[in-house]
Structure formats: structure tokens, C-alpha cells
Amino acid sequence: MRYSQTFVPTLKETPAEAEVVSHRLMLRAGYIRKLSAGVYTYLPFGLAAIRRVEKIVREEMNRAGAQELLMPMVQPADLWRETGRYEKYGPELLRFKDRHDRESCLGPTHEEVITDLVRGEVRSYRQLPLNLYQIQSKFRDEIRPRFGLMRGREFIMKDAYSFDVDDEQAGIAYQKMYDAYQRIFTRCGLQFRAVEADSGTIGGSFSHEFMVLAKTGEDTLVVCRNCDYAANVEKAAIKARPVESTEPLLEPEKIETPGKRKVAAVCDFLGIGPELLVKTMIYKVTGGDAQQVYPVAVLVRGDREVQEVKLKNLLQAVDVELAEDKEVFEITGVPTGYLGPIGLNGQKVKVVADLEVAAMRNFVVGAGEKNYHLKNVNMGRDFEVTLVADLRQIAGDDPCPLCGGELAQIEGIEVGHIFKLGTVYSESMRALFQDHEGQEKPLIMGCYGIGISRIVAAAIEQNHDENGIILPVALAPAQVIILNLGLKDAVITAAAELLYTQLQAQGVEVLLDDRDERPGSKFKDADLLGIPFRVTVGTRLIKDDVVEIRHRRNGLTVDLSPAQVVEYVLKQITAADSTGQE
């Protein structure tokens, strides 16, 4: 590539719309341009980086035994209705009708389409196992697209789907994909962590997210400092603490608490800590075949917060939403802040409690009457609950659920997610096969996604400085940039051109900066673009027969004769093959 002939529209100023580092730098470096909210055009350098990711992904997916195909982005609504997801998926699913009034959607994922394909072709266990994947644009109508490629509406994704005869074989397929993902993200030069995760709208019994560690990450990860335990905060398990108190159960006592609605105010008024108070929170839960909405009261300790994903999974709900004050009064007849669990079951409000509440004694709750609370309340004696489960957000004082060690919370960016689906889709869509005894059984499925375009953004979040992008070698749109600082000097130009030709002949992607620009501008653009190695050909070639090679990542500079450059660069690239970084 010659810079003078390459479409790389760099910007000196940062567009006001850009909120995070990757968005700012991808706009400034001419990688992307915004078309509409959450929808971007990939310019040549941005697309080149994406193609680098795709190449790594294809190589590792093929190595793991998966086969590539390509499915339509437009999907018929009838397929989604077979699994019930057409109504359940939510507004992120872009639905529309064609000229024949047939309903369709733009694919955010392809479980239904791949299951429909396989059920029409696979009949026998002899055709299994099977793993099929594609790399394709997806569309999810995010309500607030932001952060450039980190949370867009249209994005490039690799999605794979495995089909097996039983759980044991499905587990083998899952492990193959887990191992392939480890290799993919290592080769991409990323610092990442695999964590246990919630399966969300995809469904299934078990899943892992692959998170790039970055301060700007939207996800919070919980990791143990002593063992390998790691989970998304939505999935992070909290170990039940045994009831250790021998304190006798005291009789309930009604206390007037005028105007004390908030936890802090109640605790201060009664002279207790929040660990002795139980909050009663009303949630509106959407679930069931008819998608009815019903109220559920959730009990957690006063200094804890409900983890809504855990609540949603416990109730097998489509959605859960905290009720507003007006709605709480309409449902219970009690103002927010004074509501308690006693008597709620009689009002046909299901009551569920966090594990921690089950271990408490003689705690404070709302009295179910304005300006009053109750002391010395105990679960089981004074009220009953429908379910007890891990329902709260993990806190800093919680121990590791595996080893009891200290936990830490860090930020991450999700770049991959793998799921054990089981028979969620094959049963509802009648995707069956005959086993070796001639019995019909549903296919055991798994699905495996990677955000191709998001990987590039995540890599930039993790690899940048005040001067611009520092992409790992494996992802850089070009591996070497040659700066010709003597366009009018025949010797300098000839040397730059020869290096350009020699490196290209060795399969190295090279950008030759042959623009008639000041050296300072060329240096700034080279840093901004994030190309790993900069070869500067200038007056020192004439004086000392040397050119300068600079490593973008650490600023290391090496002076070499032109004859040594190709060998040096090839060694650096080869050394980076296993990690993606020089």
C-alpha cells in the first residue's frame, strides 16, 4: 500500500460523539465512519484489522473441526415463533413485514435458522457430531448504542453451532470450543479471562464469557485472588452462610418510625446497622405462556442489592422490573419504605428471600403500615416465603464460593460467549435423530459466538497511548510503515522503494508513506495508525548507511543497514506469532 493512494482519512481533532478511547482513536485514525446511530462504515484500515481477526478465527475454528457456511441475515418470524423467542426476545429484535405481509426479522443470532437447516438434513447418529459456523453481520436494535464498535446495532460476529448425540459428546464439543477460544484470543494478543456467565436470551444450562480486561469495560468480573474462580457479576455465586447465632427468638415489637422510609434513616433512628434490617422490594415479573405480569416481593438485607438476572433466572421469567412507588401502593396498599413480608402471601404476592435472609434472626422489617416498622421478626415463625435462593449482588466482603478466598472485582469487555444449549431448540423445533437403537431423540446443541468487530475495539482499549493506537502485530492492518523522508532525494527514495518491495515479497503487509508531508506529520500519523514497526529512511542513510526501526509498543529504536532490515522485521513478526505482540 502506498499512503498517497490509500484511503486513510485521519483527523486531528476528536469528534464530540466519541466517549471511549477505541471510538475516539478509530475515528481519528480513519478506521471507521458513522452512518447512523450504532451503524458504521469500515474504512480500509478498519476492515483490514477486522480481516486479521477473521483469519485467526477461521484457522482455529477449522482446526477444532468446525465447518464454515453462510446463512441469511433475514429470518422468517415463523421459525422464531417455534421457539417462542419472537415475542420473548424484546425490542432488540428488529421485526418487519415484506410486500406480501409476511413477518420477518433481522438476525441478531441464528439458533433457529441453523436448527431448521440441520433438522432437514440430519437423520442418523452416523451424521454426528456436527459443528457449523459463519462470520456475518448481525443487527440488534440497541436502545442506546454507544462507544463505537463496542456497543453498536450492526456488527460482525462469528457464530458456531454444535450438534451431538448425548451430553457427554456435547461436553467434548464445548471443551473444543473453549480451547479454540483460548487460542484465538491469545493469538490476537489480548489479555483476557474466561468467566462463568448467565445465558441470557440465548438460553441453555451453562455458559462462559471471554472478557478482555480493560478499565472501560461495561461488564464487571468477580475473580478469586487464591484460586481460578471467575464469573460475571450477574452469575457470581454467593456461598450460603450457616446460621451461627444462638440468640433466642424475640417477640415482634411494633415501633413508630415517622417519615423514616430509607434504610439509612431507619437504621439511624433505631440505632442498628443495615445488616439487621431486611428490605422488601416489589418486582413486576413477566412470564408464562401468556406473558402475564405478576408481582413478586424480594427480601434482601438492608445493605444488599437484588441481582435482577438471578431473580429472572430463578423465576424463569422473560423480564423483571422494579415497581415504582405508585405501583407498590396499588399492589400492596402500603407506601414504599414501610412494606414488610408479613401478610403479603395473603395478598397473592409471591415472596422470595435471599439466602442471607434465611440465616438472620430478630431483624427489622416494614410493618405494612405507614410510619411503622417491626423489630424482632423471624422468617418461618412470622412469615413464610415461596423460595429461598441466591438473589443478591455479590459484595466486597463475600468469600470465594469455591475456596473461601478473597474476591476482587475488575472490569472487562465481552468478546466471546459459549453456551451449552442442550435441547432447548431441538425439542421445540423437533430436530430429532435416530440413535444406534433406532430411537428418536432430540439433538444436543451448543452455540459459540465471537464479536469480530468488537475484538478490534477491545484491543485498542487495551493497547493505546497518548499518541494513538498500539495494535498487536496479529491485528494490525499493516505490520510495517516505511517513512520516506527524502522524496526529492533519489538515493533515499530508491532505498525506501527497495525495502517496500523486499518486505512485500516476504509476505509482510507494508504501508509506504510516500506523501509530500513534513516529517512531523508523518511521525504523528504513523503513531496514530498503530502499525507495530516504523522504518524511517532519511538523511542518515546518506551519512551513515543506516535506517531507523522503531517499535510502536515500547518505543525501542534500532539502527540497521538497509540490508539488515528485512531479516530483523521477519524475526520480530515470527516472535509475535504465538502472542500477537512484538
Q: Look at the block and give the residue holding cell 500500500.
A: 1
Segment 310-335 shows an average pLDDT of: 91
**Does one domain contain both 369 and 276?**
yes
Q: Which of 461, 487, 505 is the last residue of a domain?
A: 461
Residue 419 forms part of a structural domain: no
Domain tally for the chain? 3
Residue 201 forms part of a structural domain: no
**Does one domain contain both 26 and 126?**
yes
**Does one domain contain both 40 and 170?**
yes
Would you give the DSSP letter of residue 4? G
Q: Look at the block and give the residue holding cell 446511530.
A: 37
The string of pLDDT tens digits covering residues 368-411 is 999 999 999 999 999 999 999 999 999 888 899 888 889 888 89
pLDDT: which is higher, 533 or 346: 533
**Does one domain contain both 154 and 292?**
no
CATH number of the domain encompassing residue 67: 3.30.930.10
The string of pLDDT tens digits covering residues 75-130 is 999 999 999 999 888 889 999 999 999 999 999 999 999 999 999 999 999 999 99
CATH number of the domain encompassing residue 344: 3.90.960.10
Q: Which of 361, 389, 417 is the last residue of a domain?
A: 389
CATH number of the domain encompassing residue 508: 3.40.50.800
Segment 428-441 shows an average pLDDT of: 96
**Does one domain contain both 139 and 34?**
yes
* Whether residue 423 has pLDDT greater than 90: yes
Which secondary-structure segment (H or E) carries 573? helix 562-576
The β-bridge partners of 265 are: none
Contacts of 563 (CB under 8 A, 6+ apart): none
Which secondary-structure segment (H or E) carries 504? helix 490-505
Written as one letter, the residue type at 208 is H
**Does one domain contain both 174 and 282?**
no
**Does one domain contain both 309 and 370?**
yes
Dihedral, CA of residue 367, residue 372, residue 375 and residue 380, to nearest 10: 0
Grouping H, G, I as helix, E, B as strand and the rest as coil, residue 44 is: helix
Residue 36 forms part of a structural domain: yes
Neighbours of 437 (CB within 10 A): 7
The β-bridge partners of 483 are: 513, 536
Reading the block at residue 359, the C-alpha cell is 440465616
The β-bridge partners of 447 are: 161, 419
Q: Which domain holds residue 155?
A: 14-189+425-461
Residue 416 forms part of a structural domain: no
